[in-house]
Structure formats: structure tokens, C-alpha cells
Chains A and B, each alone.
Chain A
Amino acid sequence: SYELTQPPSVSVSPGQTASITCSGDKLGDKYACWYQQKPGQSPVLIIYQDTKRPSGIPERFSGSNSGNTATLTISGTQAMDEADYYCQAWDGIIVVFGGGTKLTVL
């Protein structure tokens, strides 16, 4: 079965750039999405089709996808961005999530 691998945790200082990676075999040939989930809340879609932001998502969130790696980049990270982040892709008709990355802003 297809697997997506994320680092368990990433730390960033306020105002700096955070990068969260998601690795999978030939992931660049598929569409990737990213979700943000804060404690006790439902996930929120922040990036879809590799690079697109839904309305209402701040411009500091951006995405890329090439080769075997999709990357979520948060520019000018704010304290409110501290959350779990999940990548997601499709393996044919099956939906696959990465294991999640806890972003700490300190």
C-alpha cells in the first residue's frame, strides 16, 4: 500500500519560515493536499492540488510538489500556526494521509 512519510515534529521561531515535508514514491506525479488541525478541532484544508489555497487561508501558507516530496511552507510563522499538519494524496482511488507533523512555534 502507498505510504506518505512526514517528520513527527518541526520547530520554528516566530517570524521565521517553517517547512514540513511529505515523502512518497513518485508523489510529484500525484496531487497533494495539506490540512491543519489544532487540538480538539476538526482538520482544515490549507493547500490543495499541490499549490492552491482555499479562500480564507493566509498567503503565508504555500505548497510545492516535485519528485518524491511535497512541501508545506509557512512564511512569517505566527504563534497561531502551532498545530498538527497532515499531507494527503491519492493512490488511485484510495485516499492516503501522512502520519502528521506537530509544528511548535517557540
Chain B
Amino acid sequence: EVQLVESGGGLVQPGGSLRLSCAASGFTFSNYWMHWVRQAPGKGLVWVSRINSDGSVTTYADSVKGRFTISRDNAKNTLYLQMNSLRAEDTAVYYCARARDVYSGFDYWGQGNLVTVSS
């Protein structure tokens, strides 16, 4: 069974840092592109970042470029999102998601991890 289990969220002050993790199981993690998507409370889905299967290619939404870093450890079957210089508007539930194929959508999602940026 495919599982994506996120961890690392919580409360952080503006300007602070946090690292999210997404532990994958039930599939060959190193074969898939992975993404982060976030959802502010009561709002819609917003794409954050993606990384290719071997970690050599990364892409970011303009809103997080220069502040967030996506990475992966295929030996540990884990995806990461390092978030620096956090702002109140980064408050959201963060989901990791597996890309089914290049243009085939996200077929598995984690349970979501709440990040709250507040003083």
C-alpha cells in the first residue's frame, strides 16, 4: 500500500525556519517526481515545489522561491521541504504528493501537516 507520511510541522515565529519531511513507502520512491502543495486555512490548493526522481531538478512557485528548498533522500525514501524566512502568509497545511506521471496529476497525497507562522 502506498503511503506518504508527513512530519515536522508546527508553530514558528515570523522569520523562522522549519523542515518538513515526507516518508514514503509501498512504492519505488526513486522512480517518481514528488511535489509539495499547500492549503491555507479555508482556502484552495496552491502548488509549492517539485523535484525530479533523482533530485537533480527542482522547481518552485514564485511565492517561495529563494526561501524554500525541496530535496530528497532516495536511500531513506524521504522527501523534504526546508522553509526559511517564514511569513504569516506561509501558514497552511502542507501536503506532499506523488506525481503519477509527467502530466498525469498527483495520485497519492500525504495526510497534510499544519505549519503556523505567528508571533
A residues with CB within 8 A of B: 1, 31, 33, 35, 37, 42-45, 47-49, 52, 54, 84, 86, 88, 90, 93-100
Residue B11 interfacial (CB < 8 Å): no
Q: Which residues of B contact A33 (CB under 8 A)?
A: 104-106
Most buried by B among A31, A43, A90, A97: A43
Q: Which residues of A contact B112 (CB under 8 A)?
A: 42
Residue B47 interfacial (CB < 8 Å): yes
Contacts A42-B110, A42-B112: A97 and B45 contacting too (C-beta < 8 A)? Answer: yes
Q: Which residues of B contact A90 (CB under 8 A)?
A: 103
Docked CA distance A94–B62 (Å): 10
Residue B35 interfacial (CB < 8 Å): yes
Interface extent on B, as a size class?
Answer: 20 to 34
A42 near B95 with CB under 8 A, answer: yes
Residue B41 interfacial (CB < 8 Å): no
Q: Which residues of A contact B111 (CB under 8 A)?
A: 42
Contacts A42-B110, A94-B61: A49 and B104 contacting too (C-beta < 8 A)? Answer: yes
Q: List 8 A-B contacts (CB under 8 A).
A: A35-B106, A43-B106, A45-B105, A48-B100, A52-B104, A94-B47, A95-B37, A96-B47
Chain A's closest residue to B109 (CB) is: A42
Q: Which residues of A contact B61 (CB under 8 A)?
A: 94
Residue B50 interfacial (CB < 8 Å): yes
B107 near A45 with CB under 8 A, answer: yes
